[in-house]
Amino acid sequence: MSRIANDKARAKVMSAQDAAKQIKDGDRVGFSGFTGAGYPKAVPEALAEQIQAAHDKGEAFKIASYTGASTAPEHDGALAAVDGISTRMPYQSDPVMRGKINAGVSEYSDVHLSHSGPQVRYGFWGNLDAAVIEVTKINEDGTAVPSSSIGNNNVYLEKADKIILEVNAWQSEDLEGMHDVYSMKMPGHNVPLPITAPGDRIGSKFFDIDWDRVVAVVETDSPDRNTPFKPLDQESKTIAEHLLDFLGNEVTQGRLPKDLLPMQSGVGNIANAVLVGLNEGPFERLTSYTEVIQDGMVDMIDSGKLLVASATAFSLSPDAAKLMNDKAAHYRNHIVLRPQEISNNPEAIRRMGVISCNGMIEADIYGNVNSTHIMGSKMQNGIGGSGDFTRNAYISVFVSPSLAKGGDISAIVPMVSHHDHTEHDVQVIITEQGVADLRGLSPKQRAKVIIQNCAHPDYREMLKEYIEHAAAVSNAEHTPHDLGRAHAWHRRFLDTGSMKQA
Ligand code: 0RQ
């Protein structure tokens, strides 16, 4: 049965190639897509072909590409491969896209996910020429059922001059009812966000579509980019165990209730290990206010440990995506998908007292965290929602193995090579070595705990030597540094391939 029940929509059905012709050189385009879910499956590749054809003729053709977060090879990857992206925002993780950013071909602006949509609404990113949005279905009344992510779609649909909709028959029709579309307004026109618990529904199940601005409807039938998780390694399991012990102790101390507080969990294998740990652990009747639904959360819903999860997108393995598609009617009783300006909303996060847990690239001895840059200059993915959650969390946690690149890099360094989360926001750091609880500590006290509990033994003495030296030469005692040596470890890695001293 057709997924397009509206006459106006049916009249606008065309091929992806014809739809892509609506997008011109210099356009700013808002795309759907968040962590490999709900991105448009056909128009970006068709557009990439047209960009390549223009380049072959010596013509300029680049667009500014705004999304929800990371997309997929057939979206970010295809457009980046033809040098088709002038500016990209916000979070990305496609290797080709990352390569173009680091080669200086595409400009990248790394914005907090909760800010990205509102900033487009405010006009900070210029006029939005087009929106390309995947939906699950178009209803008879012209409203649309969102797909496996919402991201910034509400804002792009609101602001774009031209709208292209992709209707993807691969997405389960039973997603209908899982979404809660609520948009913020311009400053001065907002009321307190009426969310007091992760499962609260405050908006609509559908997107309203202005059909006068819709220039094309494209039918697709393609799966999301669903990446399998690696089997859990011992390091990830140990990090998860440390986090569970820490949370258990918070309960014992009376600082957390027995069912904890809503959990936020970053993407990746450690985050998934944490979820597996929670599923096997002692806590019951949990809730989650987070940005992506991963496999571990689906398992926790199945086991009854997790009552409800709020997010903006799925980030599932192929197996879990199939399960979600088969049983969406069941899971929509436990999952709410929201625009990312709401899933990551600081007001809601602060009000509910979310426990945040995110990965990091490195932390320094004083508790500053770098989530985005390799050796100061090279972009990895972006800050994503880690800042939205960390800054506003009840307890903010960062997790990482203590070593990278086979031991040639210490994740605990004298001074981070790029700052994303400052010492003011970072409360707990966990590596496979242990937990550094930084709450209530001064910088010098933090350094002791981080080095002792989190640094790998191979680097502990070097770190101790650094603070002793810094204390002797620095201009004050509060946060001792030798500015000439603070990044010597990074310099040494770039020069010799290892942070270790020869
Ligand atoms: O390099 O790809 O060349 O092997 O960095 O590291 O170990 O695969 O770690 O997948 O857990 O990602 C911070 C990037 C961690 C992620 C980050 C190298 C390492 C590897 C990746 P290779 P791993 P993970 C919610 C919250 C920001 C967004 C966020 C992230 C590569 O967690 O993007 O939190 N966070 N969002 O070898 C140099 C170090 C290194 C290092 C690791 N200290 N120095 N290289 N690497 N540590 C989700 C969203 O917002 C959507």
Report the alpha-carbon distance of residue 498 to residue 491 in Å, rounded: 9
State whether the beta carbon of 139 lies less than 6 angstroms from ligand 1: no
Same domain, 206 and 283: no
Predicted confidence band at 207 (pLDDT cuts at 50, 70, 90)? very high
The rounded Cα 318 to chain-centroid distance in angstroms is 19
Indicate if 207 and 284 belong to the same structural domain.
no
Mean of pLDDT values over 478-501: 97
Least trusted range by pLDDT, from 115-119, 172-176, 295-299: 295-299
Q: Any idea what the Cα angle at residue 316 is, between residues 153 and 391, rounded to 5°?
A: 60
Position 359 in a domain: yes
379 CB less than 6 Å from ligand 1?
no
ipTM of this complex prediction, to 2 decimal places = 0.97
Residue-level pLDDT at 226: 83
Do 167 and 297 belong to one domain? no
In a domain, 348, yes or no: yes
Buried b (16+ CB within 10 A) or exposed e, 20-47: bebbeeebbbbbbbbbbbbbbbbbbbbb
Mean pLDDT, residues 376-401 taken together: 98
291 is catalytic: yes
Give the bridge partners for 83, in sequence order.
none
Q: 374: domain CATH number?
A: 3.40.1080.10
Instruction: Provide mean pLDDT across the span 256-283.
Output: 91
Considering the domain architecture, whether residues 373 and 440 belong to the same structural domain is answered as: yes
Q: Which of 220, 248, 282 is the last residue of a domain?
A: 220
Tell whether 251 and 380 lie within a shared domain: yes
Q: Which residues contact 57 (CB under 8 A, 6 or more apart)?
A: none
Cα separation, 383 vs 99, in Å, equals 17
- Tell me what the mean pLDDT of segment 219-231 comes to: 88
User: Is 102 annotated as contributing to ligand binding?
Assistant: no
Catalytic residue among 134, 158, 166, 291: 291
Residue type, 328: A
Query: What tokens appear for 313 in the block?
Result: 């997108």
Domains in the chain: how many in total? 2
User: Which one of 457, 478, 494 terminates a domain?
Assistant: 457
Whether residue 194 has a cis bond before it, omega within 30° of 0: no
Do both 215 and 242 map to the same domain?
no
Q: Is 463 inside a domain boundary?
A: no
Answer yes or no: do 248 and 211 share one domain. no
Total residue length of the chain: 502
If one residue of 76, 116, 236, 361 were mutated to test the ligand 1 pocket, choosing by the most ligand atoms within 8 A of its CB, it would be: 361
Query: Does residue 225 form part of some domain?
Result: no
226 within some domain: no
By most ligand atoms within 8 Å of CB, the mutation choice from 267, 275, 369, 494 for ligand 1 is 267
Name the residue range of residue 108's domain: 7-220
Give residue 1's pLDDT.
63
Q: Looking at the structure, tell me whether residues 162 and 241 fall in a common domain.
A: no
Q: Is 358 in the pocket of ligand 1 (CB under 6 A)?
A: yes
Assess whether the C-beta atom of 35 lies below 6 angstroms from ligand 1.
Answer: yes
Contact indicator for 36, 224 with CB cutoff of 8 Å: yes
Verify that 212 and 246 share a domain, yes or no. no
Q: Would residue 482 count as lying in a domain?
A: no
Q: Is the pTM higher than 0.95?
A: yes
361 CB within 6 A, ligand 1: yes
Please provide the average confidence, as pLDDT, over all residues in the chain: 97
Any alpha helices (H) in 166-294, and if so which ranges?
A: 234-252, 269-280
Q: Which of 365, 366, 301 is nearest to 335 (CA)?
A: 301
**In a domain? residue 283:** yes
Question: Is residue 261 domain-shared with residue 239, that is, in the same domain?
Answer: yes
Tell me the C-alpha distance between 489 and 479, whole Å. Answer: 18
The residue among 280 and 228 whose pLDDT is bigger is: 280
The response to whether 392 counts as a known ligand-binding position is no
Q: Of 457, 474, 496, which marks where a domain is finished?
A: 457
Same domain, 165 and 197: yes
For residues 210 and 246, membership in a common domain is answered with no
| Structure confidence by residue, pLDDT tens digits, 309-359 | 999 999 999 999 999 999 999 999 999 999 999 999 999 999 999 999 999
Going by pLDDT thresholds of 50, 70 and 90, the confidence category of residue 267 is: confident
Mean pLDDT of 224-248: 91
